[in-house]
Amino acid sequence: MRKHLRHPDAHARTQATTPSEVKCVILGQTEAGKTSLLNCIMKGQGHVETETNRTIGVDVITYHDNKNNVKYEMYDFGGHQIYHYTHRFFLTRQALHILNVDLPGYKSEEFQERVGTWLTSVTSHVFNPPILVVGTKVDLFPPDKAEEMIAAACSSIQRDIQAAESKIQTKLNEEIQLCQKAVDAADGGSDIFGPFYGLTRDNILAKKESLEKLLDGRSKGLLNVQVIPVSSKTFQGIEALCDKMAEMVKDERLFPAARQELPTSWTKLSENVKTSGRPYLHVRDCQDVGAAAGMKESDVLNALSYLHVTGQILFYNHIRGMEDLVFPDPTIILKLFKQIFRHDQPAYLDSKAESLSEHTRAQFVEDRASFLKTGRASDSFMKNLLGDNIVTFNSLLPLMKHFGLCYSGSVIFPTELPAAQPDEVARCWPEVVPSGGEEISVTIEYSQEPPLGLPETMVSRILSMEQTTRRLLTKDTVVVHVGENSEDVMYRHFPTREEIRIRGEPEKAWRQAQTVAKVMEACWDEFPALYSSNSVGSGETTKSLTIEAVRRHVPGDLLRMSEGNWERPLDIPDIRTPDDAIGKYFIDNRLYQISRAVGEEKQLWTRLGQELGLNRGVLDNIRGRNDTQQAFQMLKAWRTKAPHGPLHYLPQLEETLQNMGKPDLAADVQGVYKEYRDALPLQEVSPEMTGDTQWSLRLPGEGKYLCRRTDLGVVTPYPLCNSPQKTSKSCTWWEIPPSCCRLQNSPPPMP
């Protein structure tokens, strides 16, 4: 996001020519030559021989390429599988990604393991990421056939990458065309078909726009990728690689901020933060340092975001529980991770035990056995393992849980969890659904293996749902019982799909499915560039739904929809959006006015976006020529995630601005809400009698409704279906929260 990279004061810029500065991430399978390549580039050394020299986790080294005047923060990612869990901590936009592939060892049938996994990891997190593919170890080819074999191996990798990327882009184009056909059908008065069942025209348009954004965000170079062959032993191709890296960094289309000169105040802030000598700082500490350098609070946040993006510090202010923490030295976290996530974990723990006193060692050995068998880590185990780093670990717990590196409740590390056994699954999830219950199945499918860390993030979110009791927790299967309504939820991970099943009484199960849908969408927010498809149905389903449809209907309607007994009412228009009611551009115009006010204070729009729940991946991809346009695009991005219309999301916006200490802006939003609500047309509805003492009323969506039979008027932000007792004044109908729906008239006396 360019906004984070802007300088607050033009006159404060330094006069000296500064190098282009960028973060560089080196990826690839274990023993693909990553560390050797880095040593070769930086020191004229290379060729790591021994297992003890292998990278543990991630190493960070600063390197200045004097020839090309480029300064790199080089992140050398360990290739062993256990380190994959930590990589997402360090993937950010505005980074150059170098994917190393062992050229002599490459086989097309191993594409996913050697190449695809890493491409998916990067392209799922970052829109249009700059990626450079390097073929290593060319010195291992027979000298008399080297040129021919190098060319053949490079061509093979290029073809496989192009085929994989073409498959994804073709699928995206097909989905976009299906969306357009559905929109055309809706415009022509035809039924909305197949995968769009239960969605409105506007829902489908929003889905089409999100797919177009995914397509546009695919890495531009993968369909025409080139592989640069190198040897860290003979230095063949190293100079050409460095020149290519510098060429990409200096391409302003890829790195618009790499050559920007930092303001003097930013430089002072950076130096003071980095030399604080503390494992972490509070944002208030940084604000004090910035104030001494003449910086505003918004400028300090801007600078911290820039330093995070370029890999100089870690600042996860978009994650709940981490908003106030700044980590001046990324290597502090790396040292911590290297004590927890290791490919040689058993041997490392044995060496740690030897350093402890005899009394402490006995308990540590017992805790060690439990940790390696179940992944559970006691407080005493973590204290003995981490020593003085335990304070940093405790401060990082919200971040680690957010990324699925450990789970809530007791500290449980997924890296050490055992795989599920069939008898365990059968015991916790019997094959037969209990009498009177229903099983709903949610399936998410990927065109290839999902990105690293997604299953763990999914499990972490499921375990964090309210009132859950854990029944089974393994590496690939989780079963929980959800308290109050007695639903059971099972999550299972497969190579190219995720499966979640929900059991309970039919309507309650569908209500729980809506909760699960929100959980899953929160997971996908961490992978903003990931493409997947999904379907939702039950054992009795005649029509499958999508997660988008599940979020937009009440449980009773979802039950009828899954049975094929639901039809969109034709006599009452769906006015979830204002297009049919009060003019196509009403809300956009009013939100733009709000955006203009928000844009008057630098970086207020990013703070507002974070408070509204947009993650950094979404905010980083907001574009606009000025603060007003960026604020407007942010509000539109947030609005598309809302399950209902303006009557639902405008009060949320008002409350958020109030909580941020912006009462004037909150009052403006309240004015928009009232203006919109008052302009809604009044629609008369008639209840259906379902017996002598019952009537049923169905409201299809946002709107202002009047029931002539009862003289009851309701303004509702979402679909409603109620069957109140005529003889009862305490039924569900009268308990609609006033913040969501406002009764226009008092209900008449019941006979």
| Judgement on whether residues 555 and 608 belong to the same structural domain of the protein | no
CATH (domain of 623):
1.10.533.10
Q: Give the pLDDT confidence of 287-327 residue by residue, as tens digits.
A: 999 998 888 888 888 889 888 877 788 888 877 778 888 98
| Judgement on whether residues 323 and 340 belong to the same structural domain of the protein | no
CATH (domain of 282):
1.10.10.10
| Judgement on whether residues 454 and 487 belong to the same structural domain of the protein | yes
Q: Select the more confidently predicted residue: 697 or 290.
A: 290
Q: Give the pLDDT confidence of 115-158 residue by residue, as tens digits.
A: 998 899 889 888 888 999 999 999 999 999 999 999 999 999 99
Is the Cβ–Cβ distance between 78 and 56 less than 8 Å? Answer: yes
Is the Cβ–Cβ distance between 587 and 595 less than 8 Å? Answer: no
| Residue 749 forms part of a structural domain | no
d(CA 739, CA 125): 36
What is the model's pLDDT at position 551? 84
Task: Please name the amino acid found at residue 440.
Answer: I
Residues whose CB is less than 8 angstroms from the CB of residue 215 and which lie 6 or more positions away in sequence, other chains included: 169, 172, 173, 176
pLDDT at 691 over 60: no
pLDDT at 410 over 80: no
Residue with tokens 């551009």: 585
Q: Are strands 227-229 and 131-136 parallel, antiparallel or unpaired?
A: parallel
| % of the chain beyond a pLDDT of 70 | 82
Task: Please name the amino acid found at residue 650.
Answer: L
d(CA 438, CA 560): 13
| Judgement on whether residues 636 and 697 belong to the same structural domain of the protein | no
What is the model's pLDDT at position 34? 85
Instruction: Extract the tokens encoding 693.
Output: 């003492």
Q: Domain of 284?
A: 264-328
Instruction: Extract the tokens encoding 525.
Output: 């927010």
Instruction: Extract the tokens encoding 394.
Output: 């405790």
| Residue 12 forms part of a structural domain | no
Q: At what angle do helices 379-386 and 390-402 cross, to 10 degrees?
A: 120
Residue with tokens 């969109």: 568
Kindly tell me the number of DSSP H helices and DSSP E strands found in the chain.
28, 23
Q: Give the pLDDT confidence of 634-686 residue by residue, as tens digits.
A: 888 888 777 777 888 888 888 888 888 888 888 888 888 888 877 777 777 66
Residues pairing with 704 in the sheet = 682, 715
What is the model's pLDDT at position 108? 94
Q: Give the pLDDT confidence of 432-454 residue by residue, as tens digits.
A: 988 888 899 999 998 778 887 88
Residue 478's nearest CA partner among 417, 565, 546, 543 is 417
> Residue 239 — pLDDT band, cuts 50, 70, 90?
very high
pLDDT at 581 over 50: no
Q: Give the pLDDT confidence of 169-196 residue by residue, as tens digits.
A: 999 999 999 999 998 888 887 777 778 8
Residues whose CB is less than 8 angstroms from the CB of residue 366 and which lie 6 or more positions away in sequence, other chains included: none
| Judgement on whether residues 145 and 29 belong to the same structural domain of the protein | yes
> Residue 687 — pLDDT band, cuts 50, 70, 90?
low
d(CA 549, CA 536): 9
DSSP, collapsed to helix, strand or coil, labels residue 743 as strand
d(CA 68, CA 728): 80
Classify each residue of 663-674 as buried b or exposed e, where b means 16 or more C-beta atoms within 10 Å of its C-beta: eebbebbbebbe
Residues whose CB is less than 8 angstroms from the CB of residue 369 and which lie 6 or more positions away in sequence, other chains included: none
| Judgement on whether residues 102 and 230 belong to the same structural domain of the protein | yes
d(CA 472, CA 426): 11
| Residue 215 forms part of a structural domain | no
Question: If you average pLDDT over each of 332-336, 563-567, 609-613, which comes out highest?
Answer: 609-613
Number of domains in the chain: 6
| Residue 457 forms part of a structural domain | yes
| Judgement on whether residues 241 and 337 belong to the same structural domain of the protein | no
d(CA 615, CA 323): 12
Is the Cβ–Cβ distance between 56 and 4 less than 8 Å? Answer: no
Q: Select the more confidently predicted residue: 437 or 55.
A: 437
Across the chain, what does the average pLDDT equal? 79
What is the model's pLDDT at position 734? 34
| Judgement on whether residues 362 and 476 belong to the same structural domain of the protein | no
| pTM, 2 dp | 0.69
d(CA 378, CA 74): 35
d(CA 62, CA 23): 9
| Judgement on whether residues 455 and 434 belong to the same structural domain of the protein | yes
Q: Give the pLDDT confidence of 493-538 residue by residue, as tens digits.
A: 988 899 999 999 988 899 899 888 888 887 887 788 888 889 998 8
CATH (domain of 136):
3.40.50.300
Instruction: Extract the tokens encoding 447.
Output: 């065109």
| Residue 626 forms part of a structural domain | yes
Q: Are strands 411-412 and 376-377 parallel, antiparallel or unpaired?
A: antiparallel
| Judgement on whether residues 452 and 512 belong to the same structural domain of the protein | yes
What is the model's pLDDT at position 624? 67
How large is the average pLDDT for residues 585-614?
Answer: 78
> Residue 102 — pLDDT band, cuts 50, 70, 90?
very high
d(CA 514, CA 695): 26
What is the model's pLDDT at position 83? 62
Residue 170 main-chain phi, psi, to 5 deg: -65, -45
Residue with tokens 């297992």: 51
| Residue 737 forms part of a structural domain | yes
Q: What is the DSSP secondary-structure string of 517-550? A: HHHHHHHHTTSTT---EEEEEETT-SS-B-HHHH
Residue 747's nearest CA partner among 720, 718, 724 is 724
d(CA 80, CA 66): 32
* Dihedral sign (CA 415, 418, 419, 424): negative
- List the beta strands (DSSP E) in 396-519: 411-412, 438-445, 468-473, 477-482, 487-494, 497-504
| Judgement on whether residues 363 and 427 belong to the same structural domain of the protein | no
How large is the average pLDDT for residues 585-598?
Answer: 75
Q: Select the more confidently predicted residue: 617 or 605.
A: 605
H or E element at residue 376: strand 376-377
d(CA 479, CA 489): 6
| Residue 91 forms part of a structural domain | yes
d(CA 21, CA 245): 12
d(CA 310, CA 257): 10
Q: Select the more confidently predicted residue: 134 or 572.
A: 134
Residue 182's nearest CA partner among 171, 192, 197, 172 is 192
Of 638, 660, 679, which residue is a domain's last? 679
pLDDT at 745 over 60: no
Residues whose CB is less than 8 angstroms from the CB of residue 56 and which lie 6 or more positions away in sequence, other chains included: 78, 83, 338, 342, 343
| Residue 172 forms part of a structural domain | no
pLDDT at 376 over 90: no
Q: Which of 46-55, 251-260, 672-681 has the lowest mean pLDDT?
A: 46-55
| Judgement on whether residues 428 and 494 belong to the same structural domain of the protein | yes
What is the model's pLDDT at position 572? 35
